[in-house]
Amino acid sequence: MTCANRRAWIEVDTGALRHNLIQLRRLLPEGCGLLAVVKANAYGHGAAECAAVCQQAGVRAFAVATAAEGAALRERGIAGEILVLGYSGAEAVPLLSRYCLSQAVVSLDHARLLNACGLPLRVHWKVDTGMHRLGFAWDRPEVLASAFACQHLQVCGLFTHLSDAEAPDPESRSRTQTQIDRFFQMVQYLRSAGYEPGILHLQGSYGLLNYGGIPGCGWVRAGIALYGLLSSPQDTTRFSADLRPVLSLRARVAQVHTLQAGEPAGYDGAFTAQRPSRLALVTIGYADGWPRSLSRGRGRVLVRGQSAPIAGLICMDQLLADVTGIAGVSPGDTVTLIGRDGDACLTAGEAAQAADTITNELLSRLGERLERVLTNQSGDAPAL
Ligand SMILES: *Cc1c(COP(=O)(O)O)cnc(C)c1O
């Protein structure tokens, strides 16, 4: 490994990313493309790096949360469609227009606000089909139709977001089907009134994995599945894809301490040695995005291919691991927080569950301070 002088870093397995792209594309119907969701620094993986790998593999559409995220991708050479999913006010229009980004437009007021800037702007209309997050109301299609009068807005697409696609119970499935029906009612209304809605898209990862291809859609917006994960490890999906985790998180042992039984360590005496112990100081902390809620043995790390519980309270930039049972732990050893070490493996799902959250949150909070290192551990997949 070429990481001998790094403090704490993320390894991005580009072979796994390409592999996941191929697996997900297999589920798409004819004429439907994969849009790579790379918001929040590609769920912590590194947006420019991941988007470049996807682009190389033939992906022509990307989604981000903010205009600034989109502009940063363009600066790094990402072409094709870049859709800003989150709300942008009038102040973002010069940036959106200059970088040829597409903006989600969520209401008639929003459309008029952006149109009033007088700059040409690509837009995708967002329809609220029941989630009540963002969007034009599904049952007032004439309101959306009137937004087509905004002369500076170039309508490129129409989309909605499913709120319950991950849940297999009949009520959730019926709510999802209702959302799908409402979306296509809107499409029908617009087309019969002579308005062309452009490219249609409504599924994220779970929408695809639980509902398969939906005829008429031009894109599926894949986020978490592209990174080889489900949001919660116990989730099951109707269609299975052989997904491989893309991200590993590693740090280093800086020092090893020998404690006698009864000796405390760390802040607030949150750890007291119950027996003669050895503690390894690991070079990563909550400011790097490793949740403090994994303190006091709720989380664990891998050292020398073995599991070591986190001892005491996680600090801002470092943590202690109890390596009493592991022979030979020394300064400079690599510590794995997510990923494989020999035969042992620690998944993002396990850490997320222990921290009482989902993989999406755990990964997207991994900090700027972590260097992103591209690797190809999975072996390569053929370019498309
Ligand atoms: C984040 C997001 C996605 C991707 O969701 P995943 O579950 O990670 O695939 C898709 N669509 C919208 C509107 C989003 O905000």
Query: Taking every pair of C-alpha atoms in the chain, what is the biggest distance, in angstroms?
Result: 80
Strand (E) or helix (H) holding 247 = strand 247-259
Q: What is residue 377's predicted lDDT score, i.e. its pLDDT? A: 84
Q: Catalytic residue, from 39, 126, 206, 286: name it.
A: 39
Please tell me what DSSP assigns to residue 382: -
pLDDT tens-digit series, residues 200-239:
999 999 999 999 999 999 999 999 999 999 999 999 999 9
Average pLDDT over the chain reads 96
| Closest Cα to atom 13 of ligand 1 | 161
- Segment 289-306 shows an average pLDDT of 98
Q: What is residue 42's predicted lDDT score, i.e. its pLDDT? A: 98
- Segment 105-122 shows an average pLDDT of 98
Quick one: what percent of the chain has pLDDT higher than 70?
A: 97
Give me ligand 1 centre to Cα 153, in Å.
Answer: 24
- Segment 341-369 shows an average pLDDT of 97
Question: What is the chain's Cα-based Rg?
Answer: 23
- Segment 256-273 shows an average pLDDT of 96
Q: Which of 35, 85, 128 to mutate to test the pocket of ligand 1 (most atoms within 8 A of CB)?
A: 85
Q: What is residue 378's predicted lDDT score, i.e. its pLDDT? A: 75
Coil, strand or helix at 68:
helix
Amino acid type, 234 = Q
pLDDT of residue 380 exceeding 90, the answer is: no
Q: Catalytic annotation on 87?
A: no
Distance (Å, whole) CA 149 – CA 137: 18
Q: What is residue 34's predicted lDDT score, i.e. its pLDDT? A: 98
Give me ligand 1 centre to Cα 121, in Å.
Answer: 23
226 CA: nearest ligand 1 atom: 9
Query: pLDDT class for 5, splitting at 50, 70, 90?
Result: confident
Q: Catalytic annotation on 126?
A: no
- DSSP states of 121-169: EEEEEEEESSS-SSSEETT-HHHHHHHTT-TTEEEEEEE---SSTT--S
Coil, strand or helix at 39:
helix
Give me ligand 1 centre to Cα 207, in Å.
Answer: 10
Amino acid type, 151 = Q
Pocket around ligand 1 at a 6 A CB cut-off: 37, 39, 85, 161, 204-206, 221-225
- For residue 89, give the nearest of 77, 76, 105, 73 by alpha carbon: 105
Distance (Å, whole) CA 67 – CA 95: 7
39 CA: nearest ligand 1 atom: 1
Q: What is the dihedral of CA 4, 6, 8, 14, to 10 degrees?
A: -80
Query: pLDDT class for 255, splitting at 50, 70, 90?
Result: very high
